[in-house]
Structure 1
């Protein structure tokens, strides 16, 4: 019965199988044979869906990017039917609220967060070689930029503030801070420090805004 899945469902199954392997052993653990065994299918089924390991890694990256985008979109969803705090102080509060809402999902998916960094590195190495998958890192950050841009725009609108720098630059700085904090947490797992660090991050970002005249 498992061999009769529609092609899209089969690809999804194989990608999830590959992600499970990569969470435990990194991208190096992902081979066509290992994915086939983990998914309980033949080698031919994997080769039919993906003509190379690189194609499979690209599909893994695309899945991780979409999951990350969905998480950010949900966490950064600002209710429009509730009065928001105003001014730069209100902006800081709203930024902190969004960052705090996103963080639990980061801690809950530590393995996939680590894998995201690994696939980014994998993509950059392949980009230098001009190989398949070289644009994955660019795609990843492009989608993250879009979500951050939307969140920052909504926060400013809700709090009656305006950014003193191009919002694209503010989004880049915000994402760089999140990247660094996430990577540091993956190293030391100091969860007790996260609340104050997220508050500091919100202050750094809010400092690039002023109240509208």
Structure 2
């Protein structure tokens, strides 16, 4: 039998977890189901991850990191604040559209983790991760375009999260790209309206 490197097993199990969670929710995402989806024995799961909770935490961290990198790429060439804000908002939607299973899985993890005080930290981790990423983009806008906000930076970041999260959640239901783009354009205008005159 061919040996598979631990990192390759980890990647395969995380990808399998996304598929299982997106298809059946967290209630069906047992270690056995995830290992079977990856085409591995359950023992392989326990060889890679210390627990189911550890796997979920690692999955959340990987998804958030990939989202942040994708959005950073969407604003790299922005020549104006308007392009930067529009590109950042569109980048979040593009990431969801590129791999909707990942976005569905993340929504499922958040909903599941709110079910108990013990698990709630995962939902908090997701939204803390979003806040950190968006906060970094808000600071980058300040630095690149000498922006001063009419409200505290944290409020700008929270508002951007409300826009992106809402548009992505709606898009997951209707998959209406044109409507999502219109909503993001409206949102970008609202964010630009927070710039101090």
TM-score by length of 2: 0.86
Which one of the candidate residues 130, 139, 146 is aligned to 1:144?
Answer: 130
Query: Structure 2 regions of 5+ residues with no counterpart?
Result: none
Q: Is the CA contact (8 Å cut-off) linking 1:149 and 1:168 kept in structure 2?
A: yes
- Name the larger-Rg structure: 1
Deviation at 1:179, TM superposition (A): 0.5
- Distance in structure 2 (CA, Å) of the matches to 1:51 and 1:178: 33
- Distance in structure 1 (CA, Å) of the matches to 2:38 and 2:98: 24
* Cα pair distance change 1:204/1:10, threshold 3 Å: same
Residue 88 (structure 2) aligns with = 98
Q: Is the CA contact (8 Å cut-off) linking 1:75 and 1:102 kept in structure 2?
A: no
Q: Which moved more, 1:171-180 or 1:181-190?
A: 181-190
- Distance in structure 1 (CA, Å) of the matches to 2:50 and 2:91: 39
**Match runs of 1:18-29 below 5 Å:** 18-29=17-28
- Distance in structure 1 (CA, Å) of the matches to 2:35 and 2:84: 46
Query: Structure 1 regions of 5+ residues with no counterpart?
Result: 86-90
Residue 103 (structure 2) aligns with = 113
- Distance in structure 2 (CA, Å) of the matches to 1:35 and 1:114: 16
Q: Which has the higher contact order (CA 8 A, sep 6+)?
A: 1
* Cα pair distance change 1:74/1:137, threshold 3 Å: farther
Residue 88 (structure 1) aligns with = none
Post-superposition, which runs of at least 4 consecutive aligned residues in structure 1 deviate over 4 A?
none
- Distance in structure 2 (CA, Å) of the matches to 1:78 and 1:153: 16
Deviation at 1:93, TM superposition (A): 4.1
* Cα pair distance change 1:73/1:123, threshold 3 Å: farther
- Distance in structure 1 (CA, Å) of the matches to 2:37 and 2:25: 15
Query: Helix, strand or coil for the counterpart of 2:76?
Result: coil
Deviation at 1:124, TM superposition (A): 2.2
Deviation at 1:164, TM superposition (A): 1.5
Which one of the candidate residues 146, 150, 156 is aligned to 2:142?
Answer: 156
* Cα pair distance change 1:72/1:139, threshold 3 Å: farther
1:200 pairs with 2:149 = no
Deviation at 1:208, TM superposition (A): 1.2
Residue 179 (structure 1) aligns with = 165
